[in-house]
Amino acid sequence: MQTWKQAEAIDQITQGLEQIDQVTQSNTASAEESAAAAEELASQSVQLKILIQNNQGNWNTRPQNQYIQKLG
C-alpha cells in the first residue's frame, strides 16, 4: 500500500514539474518576442530621430508651417 502511495505521489510531482516546464518555456518565448519587439522599436526610434533631424530645417521654410508658427 505504501509503495502505491509513493508511486502516486511521484507521478503527481512529475506532472507538476512538466507543467512548470511548459510555463517556463512559454515565458521564455514571450520574453524573446518582447526583446525582439523592443529592439525593433529602438531601431525605428533612431531612424525617426534621424529623419526629424534631417527635416528640421525644412520645417521652418515651408509656408504652411510658418503660418502655424505665427499662430502659436
Question: Which pLDDT score, from 0 to 100, does residue 23 have?
Answer: 98
Structural domain spans, the chain: 2-71
- The rounded distance, in Å, linking the Cα atoms of 26 and 24 is 5
pLDDT digits (tens, 9 = 90+) for 19-71: 999 999 999 999 999 999 999 999 999 999 998 888 876 665 665 655 556 66
How far from 59 is each of 34, 43, 46, 49, 50, CA to CA, in Å? 35, 23, 19, 14, 14
56 or 15, greater pLDDT: 15
Contact indicator for 59, 65 with CB cutoff of 8 Å: yes
Which one-letter amino acid corresponds to residue 3? T
Residue 67 burial by Cβ neighbours in a 10 Å radius (0-12, 13-18, 19+) = exposed
Mean pLDDT value across residues 2-9: 92
- Provide the grid cell at 52: 526629424
Question: Which pLDDT score, from 0 to 100, does residue 15 have?
Answer: 98
Question: What is the pTM (predicted TM-score) of this model?
Answer: 0.58
